[in-house]
Chain A
Amino acid sequence: MTPAPTGSAPAPTAPTARTGIDWVAVVAALVTVAAFVRAIWFTPPDLLQGYAQKIMYVHVPTIWVAFLALGLSALAGAFWLFLKDPRLDRFAESSAEVGVVFTTGVLITGPIWAKPIWGAWWVWDARLTLTLVLWFLFLGYLVLRGAIDDRELRARYSAVVGLLGALLIPFVHLSVYIFRTQHPMPVVANPEGIQMPAVMQVTFFFSLFAFTLMYVAFVRARMALATDRDALEDASTAER
């Protein structure tokens, strides 16, 4: 058996195997299409809010995925600080990017719902403002990653920034309880139970499931991209 080299550079990253169709992505896309069809054509509108209420079936799952993605990114970063496994850093990077995309979705669909219901696209209420701050923080995280070439330094700095940024997530969620906000109280994660009729609950949870699958598919694809990019960088470095 060949002994492992000691004190040498880390093993070069192997590129991902290209196996054609990504079935996780295909299933996620199909389930998401089904969730959209159910929300659009097979779920009744709300009597008081009208069709604008149906925006909730994309808005709430979007913020759920954003919290999940940014939270897991921070967790992976924290583990990287101890284990130094490059896969953890690639996961943190990928999950953060997906989280930023979904937070962008929240910041787009929220104002579209707010205009007909509140009469204003945006109000500087605690929930909205904290969500915007969270988006800026993780946008900064991605910019930071792009600005540092050294892989280990980049992983360390971004792990710390990701952890600090993720501390905001509980405050965003609890802001409607802590502050007097215009944003509605949660209809699902509500201490008094789910505040929704059964037909809407089915649509809501189906949509939540679909968006979670989308998250898995996006992170897998984004991680494959990060792995291939690192493999290319390693090969170029080895040549020099």
Chain B
Amino acid sequence: MPDNVAYFHAAYAATIALLIGYAVSIVVRRRRVAQRRAQRATAGGRGA
């Protein structure tokens, strides 16, 4: 059997990093939108 376990580890690590990275990117972007919404609500409240 060929010894290529390092490639197997690399592929799984890359897939996990990609999935986690994308999940984090969605969470960060949602938080940013929520912050902007909160800022708008605060500014609107002050203006009223």
Contact = CB atoms under 8 A, between A and B. Distances in A.
Contacts, number: 90
B13 to A, nearest CB: 10
A59 interface: yes
A12 interface: no
A212 B2 CA distance: 31
B8 A52 contact: yes
A116 B7 contact: yes
A21 interface: no
B16 A36 contact: yes
A36 B12 contact: yes
Q: What size tier do the contact residues of chain B reach? A: 20 to 34
Interface in A91-146: 98, 101, 104-105, 108-109, 112-113, 115-117
A115 B37 contact: no
Given A50-B2, A52-B2, A54-B8, A224 B15 contact: no
Contact of A229 (B5, B14, B18, B33): B33
A62 B5 contact: no
A18 B5 CA distance: 43
Interface string A184-200: 00000000000000000
Interface string B24-44: 001101100110110010001
B31 to A, nearest CB: 10
B40 A59 contact: no
Nearest to A108: B14
A81 interface: no
Interface of B: 1-5, 7-8, 10-12, 14-16, 18-19, 22-23, 26-27, 29-30, 33-34, 36-37, 40, 44
9 A-B pairs with least C-beta separation: A116-B4, A51-B8, A50-B2, A112-B11, A55-B11, A52-B4, A51-B5, A109-B11, A228-B33
Given A15-B37, A58-B11, A109-B15, 11 more contacts: A55-B8, A108-B15, A112-B10, A112-B11, A112-B14, A214-B19, A218-B22, A218-B23, A221-B23, A228-B37, A231-B37
Interface of A: 15, 18, 25, 32, 36, 39-40, 45, 47-52, 54-55, 58-59, 62, 98, 101, 104-105, 108-109, 112-113, 115-117, 214, 218, 221-222, 224-225, 228-229, 231-232, 235-236, 239
